[in-house]
Structure 1
Amino acid sequence: MDQNLLFEYFSQVIGPDWKNSAPKQLSGWDVVEALWPLNNDFRNRYRDFVALPYEARFEGKADLAQQHFVFKGKWPPVSIEVWRVILERHQQAIQVALANELAGNSLMPIPDRLPRSARTGAAVLYLLQQMKLPFAVVDRAGYSPDANPPHS
């Protein structure tokens, strides 16, 4: 996580007075719901990159792509290797969120004035940006972005 980027995002979405907002804790399930829409972004090309091995040398480019997505509202053109890094981060972030949900832990603080529509960007910056993978990389060949979205 790059805290300065996250704070910049809060300023962009809420305004410079976001610091006057009360903090709100998102549960693990809230974070799963925030990250789930990224599946739509994988849908068009996931067959091209899902079976690729994870290559750490593309992590920096993944960070840049994620920043572009969050601040510009769309993904820049990225290689399939970068998509593979983003997919692995996404899947592991969902695992972290679910583990926190099961343990009854809150996962992520946000300003209470952050709109629900901005939670995806906040979750990307909080969990995926500069992510050190908490689990071993696994074969994602069986991944499908067509799974039903979660409902609370």
Structure 2
Amino acid sequence: MNEIFRPHIHKIRTIPYRSRAEKAADRALEHFAWAPESTTWAEINGSTWRVLLERHQQILVMASALEARGERVMTHLPDALPDGARLPALTLLWLHGMQLPFPVRDRSRLELPESGLDPSFRLQ
């Protein structure tokens, strides 16, 4: 998901978190589940992007905390689920309707880590 946020991070990180954008974020995730490409979110507004980024960052913190405790599994997906459906399924499971486990943080200085992915990578 970092690759989806990266082209917009300089704008998103300046936007304050607004809880009124949470329903729009859920709708964006629903659309993403049907078309898991970065262009799916091309038309969403900044407040929606900000909610999505906060959810994404907080799920990463949760995953890191679980890993530090020695837990390596956050959920199970059916083995028969096609590879292209895994990311959409996880975004719906983890991010849709997410109640933030931590207080909202100032993301104005957020930098995403460099990607190890091939530049031609696309979510499909």
Q: Call closer, same or farther: CA 1:114–1:92 in 2, change over 3 Å.
A: same
- Worse-superposed segment, 42-51 or 111-120: 111-120
List per-residue Cα deviations over 1:79-135 (Å, max 9, x = no partner): 011000000000001111111112222211110122344322122111100000000
Structure 2 spans left out of the alignment, 5+ residues? 117-124
Q: Determine the C-alpha separation between the residues in 1 that align with 2:62 and 2:115.
A: 17
Question: 2: distance between equivalents of 1:122 and 1:104?
Answer: 24
1:84-99 matches, within 5 Å, as 84-99=50-65
How has the CA–CA distance of structure 1 residues 149 and 100 changed in structure 2, closer, same or farther, with 3 Å as cutoff?
farther
Does the CA-based 8 Å contact 2:3-2:115 persist in structure 1? no
More strand by share: 1
Matched residue, 1:46: 9
Of residues 90-99 and 71-80 in structure 1, the stretch that sits farther from structure 2 once superposed is: 71-80
TM-score scaled by length of structure 2 = 0.81
Cα distance in 2 for partners of 1:148, 1:101 equals 21
State the distance in 2 between where 1:73 and 1:120 align. 8
Shift of 1:55: 0.5
Q: Which residue of 2 aligns with 1:81?
A: 47
1:140 and 2:107 equivalent? yes
Does 2:75 align with 1:108? yes
2:14–2:108 Cα contact (<8 Å) kept: yes
Secondary structure of the residue aligned to 2:15 is coil
What is the Cα-based RMSD across aligned positions, in Å? 1.8
Letter of the structure 2 residue corresponding to residue 104 of structure 1: G
Larger Rg: 1
Aligned residue type for 2:110: Y
Distance 2:111 2:36 in 1: 23
Post-superposition offset of 1:144 = 2.0
User: Where in structure 1 are there 5+ consecutive unaligned residues?
Assistant: 1-37
Quickly say closer, same or farther: Cα 1:68–1:50, change in 2 above 3 A. Answer: same
State TM-score, norm by structure 1. 0.68
